[in-house]
Structure formats: structure tokens, C-alpha cells
Amino acid sequence: MFFMLYFLVMITLYNAVSKDGYINEVNGSEDFVPYEVWHEFLELCTAYDVFAMGKNSYQAIQEYEPEERRLFESLPIKKVVISRDGNFTPQKGYEIIRSVSELPKLGKNILLSSGPSLNDVFLKEKLIDKIILNVIPVKVVSGLKQFSSKEPNMILKSEKNTQEGRVLCSYDVVY
């Protein structure tokens, strides 16, 4: 029965990446990600019923400008933080789960945006169905990559160039 439920769930991983494949800079900053990308991300969220992130990504969002955070936190989407730390509780408006296997029980069309720590776990558990990359035309040179271990096998499904020189790529993940 659980297997059938999982079968009906779609998990899409979204990341904004530099053209050399980094999701943040070595000091943890995401300053290379232009302002409009956050607004595109908020628009993307409206197509999903759940948004999930790792504890570190949650903490990064808490450092955003209050208005930027408010726009995200007021979206009518279930916001889920994943952490094994029993002493950690996110603020009101976020749900907490302790294991990646709990996520598919929370919705049908799930958007995930995390760093390599959690992305690796989801990939290893074969839980990522699609990947959307918003590729920003700058080189970051060092920082965190989308995955720290094995890269997924992906099939490019669509590619769109924006006026600002970014490329929006959508992939299916093949296991």
C-alpha cells in the first residue's frame, strides 16, 4: 500500500546554480544569485503543494531580508524542514520531519530545495524524480555543489533562455 502511495508522489529538486555548478559561495553567501531568481522561485512554488528543505537551508532563509522571507512564508504551500536534531524546532508556519522517508507522505507534488547534505540522501534513496536548474551565467569557483557525491543520471526535458542570460533546465532523473 505504501509503495502505491509513493508511486503517486512526485519530488522535484530545484537549485539555482552558477555556470560552474555551485549553489553557494565558499563563505556560504548566495550573492551571485540575482534578485529576480528568488521571485521566479516563489512563482514556481505555486505549482506545488509541499516545499521541503534541510535544516541548513531553512537557517539560510531565516537570514534573508524580512520582506523577502515574508513573501515566501505567506505562500499557501506546506513548508517542511528536515532535521534529525530532536532539540531543533523551526518557527511557526513550518513543519518538521526527522527522516526523508516521511516526506512523500505529506503531499503529491513536492518541491525540494536543499544543499548537498540532503540532496545526496534523497538521491541515494531514489526519491528525486525531476531536477530543475536555474543556471546563472557567473563562475563562483568554490563553494558547495548541488551534490557532494555521485551526480544523478538525468535526461534533459526542456531548456529555456532568459533575457538576463540564465538558462532554466528541467530534467528527469533516471535510476
> Residue 85 interacts with ligand NAP (CB under 6 A)?
yes
Closest approach, Cβ 116 to ligand NAP, in A, equals: 5
Q: Are 135 and 21 in contact (CB under 8 A)?
A: no
| CB 76 to ligand NAP: min, Å | 21
Asked whether position 18 contacts ligand NAP by CB under 6 A, the answer is no
Residue 89 phi/psi, 5-degree rounding, is: -130, 125
Three-state DSSP class for residue 13: strand
Say whether residue 113 binds ligand NAP (CB under 6 A): yes
Looking at 121, 154, 167, 168, which residue binds ligand NAP (CB under 6 A)?
A: 121
Residues 6+ apart with CB under 8 A from 32: 18, 22, 25, 136, 138, 140
Tell me if 136 contacts ligand NAP by CB under 6 A: no
Taking CB under 6 A as the binding criterion, the range among 3-11, 68-76, 117-125, 153-161 that sits at the site for ligand NAP is: 117-125
- How crowded is residue 81: how many other Cβ atoms within 10 Å of its Cβ? 22
Q: Tell me the C-alpha distance between 40 and 18, whole Å.
A: 16
Within positions 24 to 53, which residues make up the interface with ligand NAP, using CB under 6 A? 24, 28, 30, 33, 53
Q: CA–CA separation, 50 vs 55, rounded Å?
A: 16
Note whether 165 binds ligand NAP by CB under 6 A. no
How far is the C-alpha of 148 from the C-alpha of 156, rounded, in Å? 21
Nearest CB to ligand NAP, comparing residues 13 and 107: 13
Residues contributing to the site for ligand NAP (CB under 6 A)? 15-16, 23-24, 28, 30, 33, 53-57, 60, 82-85, 88, 99-100, 113-118, 121, 144
